[in-house]
Structure 1
Amino acid sequence: MTNETDAITALKGIARIEAAAQTGKGWYGRYLWLFAAWQLVLVPAVLLWRGPAALAVTMPANVLAVTALSVFAVRQPVVPRGMGRRHLTVIGTWAAAYCASLALGLTAFTDSVLFAAAAAVACAAPAAVAALRESRPA
């Protein structure tokens, strides 16, 4: 009887792991959508709001947003296959867009609302495109 009991216990454990993998696999897409949405708020605030108050609000808000997203990611029970490479690609592309947006927005397009809006969309695009790819059926 112990062999049968051990086999049943092992199968139940495997079923729990599979259920966790199936229910937790969409978290990375949600993470990416939240990151993209945050860019639509952060980039215009950084480009258009000046002075010490702007720095005192945008920097802690960004730290809080990144911390919340990081805690959300770390608490997930399942990591999608190839996520490290995909995430580095998304963040690298975002970093290039963000640096270019800040460089141009703070020098050539100072106080341009149109540029700030375009820069926000450009900074949100890498995460949004990756989120759309995540939502595709496998």
Structure 2
Amino acid sequence: MTRIAIGSDHAGFELKSHLIDLLGAEGHDVVDLGTGSTESVDYPKFCAAVGRVVRDGDADLGIVLGGSGQGEQLAANKVRGVRAALCNDLYTARMARAHNDANVLSMGARVVGIGLAEEIVATFLATGFDGGRHQRRVDQIVALEAEF
């Protein structure tokens, strides 16, 4: 069982609700960090909350959702230790985990449909980090993060 933190803005709310139900039915422990409706909100606080929970080890992975997923990825990546990846297709979901050891998935609810979103999440969760030469690169990213 994987513990997954999830958050969204208003544009991602319906997809977030769907994924919470799906992931829960699959046996995952899902932590919903908001928002709670389709009423317009600013996404940074929700995405940062997901990042903090992942960083602190209170969740194994995170998911952030918005209209495009772009701003959500940027906000989550401001949390030290987060490697959020915008994945609106299966290839980037697989590579984000395998090569970058991404720990937060970002998606655009206005970009992907529910079926594709389900496949992206499944791919992200099922893919492990390859390590090897990729570990060296992740270590360099971590060093850059510490530097700035």
Which bin holds the TM-score, normalised by the shorter protein? under 0.3
If asked which structure has higher relative contact order (CA below 8 Å, sep 6+), I would say 1
The structure with the greater share of residues assigned to strand is 2
TM-score by length of 1: 0.23
TM-score by length of 2: 0.22
